[in-house]
Amino acid sequence: MWPLIDPPKKIHFLSVKSSEAIKYKNDLIKKYGNADINETEVIICIGGDGFMLETLHNYLNYQIPIYSINFGSVGFLTNPKISIEKDLPLILHEAQPTSLHPLAMTAYTADGKTHTALAFNDIFLYRQTRQAAKIQIITNDEIRLPELICDGIIVSTPAGSTAYNLSAHGPIVPLNSGLLPLTPICPFRPRRWRGALLPSNTSIQFLTMEEKKRPIAAVADFTEIRDVTQVFVKENRTIKSTILFNQGHELSERIVAEQFTV
């Protein structure tokens, strides 16, 4: 459980491959050492949001809290860069934990195969060719939209609602809202449909229509499955990752603040 009684003594450092990030990581390792992943109390992830997502996936089974330091561009899932002179263990000890539950995707493809993947940000379907996608939307076994003609559609987690979902004009939702935004990408028919907010325990099913003429791919974070025929999405509450944020820099507050950004 976090916070620990004392500042952590065993820290494992990871970084993207940029020279600046590697130098910063090596400077931290000289000061604090680099604990074995099987013994560490916290993982330090040095990079941007994309690298943070990779780390969440790669170290999911370890159930170790992750503290990310921004060496990317947006850095929504990260903390600001810390001076080497500052007391990193104390900063970690005072950091606030946030629990994330991923979306689970099961995708069936035209060749009869089944694929599974997890997403901490979002799962989206999109057209593979110049032809618009035709998608039927079913929630909890009830047909909600018989036919959506569009470029694609996004289901996002609350944490991911400020990413692709926001760019597609979907709503930002707070972490504790219990809601999943469902947002179309460039909808053509029905033209005025702008998506939905679904309870987080909703079972969502997408059926692709005219799949040979209008092939569709599905993406869960950075896992892409092409030529899907149907896709099932549901939040998996049995899986949890913990990420750490500086006091006053918590993810829940940043999501609220993002809604007032002009």
CATH of the domain at 65: 3.40.50.10330
What are 195-238's pLDDT values in tens digits?
999 999 999 999 999 999 999 999 999 899 999 999 999 999 99
DSSP string, 46-63: EE-HHHHHHHHHHTGGGT
Residue 4 lies in a domain: no
Statement: residue 5 has pLDDT above 90: no
Cβ within 8 Å of residue 102, ≥6 positions away: 118, 119, 120, 157, 235, 236, 239, 241
Rounded Cα–Cα distance for residues 164 and 230 (Å) = 21
Q: Is residue 3 part of a domain?
A: no
- Strand positions, DSSP E, 140-203: 142-150, 152-156, 179-185, 196-199
Residues 189 and 132 in one domain: yes
Query: CA–CA separation, 212 vs 231, rounded Å?
Result: 16
pLDDT higher than 70, residue 61: yes
pLDDT of residue 73: 75
Q: Which residues contact 82 (CB under 8 A, 6 or more apart)?
A: 69, 88, 91
Range 111-129 average pLDDT: 97
Q: State whether the Cα torsion 31-32-37-42 is positive or negative.
A: negative
**pLDDT attached to residue 249:** 65
Q: Do 25 and 108 have their domain in common?
A: no
Nearest to 213 by CA among 138, 134, 156: 134
- Domain that residue 18 falls in: 11-100+240-258
Do residues 230 and 124 both lie within one domain? yes
Half-sphere exposure for 72 (CA within 13 Å, toward CB)? 20
In the structure, what pLDDT confidence band is assigned to residue 22 with cuts at 50, 70 and 90? Answer: very high
Q: What is the pLDDT of residue 76?
A: 77
pLDDT of residue 262 exceeding 70, the answer is no
27 is catalytic: no
94 in the same domain as 36: yes
Within the chain, strands assigned E span 11-15, 42-47, 66-70, 96-100, 103-109, 114-119, 122-127, 133-139, 142-150, 152-156, 179-185, 196-199, 204-208, 216-220, 223-225, 228-235, 241-245
Clarify whether residues 83 and 39 are in a common domain.
Answer: yes
Mean pLDDT over residues 183-193, rounded? 93
CATH (domain of 117): 2.60.200.30
Q: Which residues are annotated as a binding site?
A: 49-50, 121-122, 151, 159, 162-167
- How far apart are alpha carbons 104 and 123 in whole angstroms? 9
Are 121 and 94 contained in the same domain? no
44 and 109 share one domain: no
User: Number of structural domains, the chain?
Assistant: 2
Q: Give the active site residue among 49, 111, 141, 227.
A: 49
For residue 250, the model assigns a pLDDT of 66
> What backbone torsions phi and psi does residue 253 show, to the nearest 5 degrees?
-70, -35
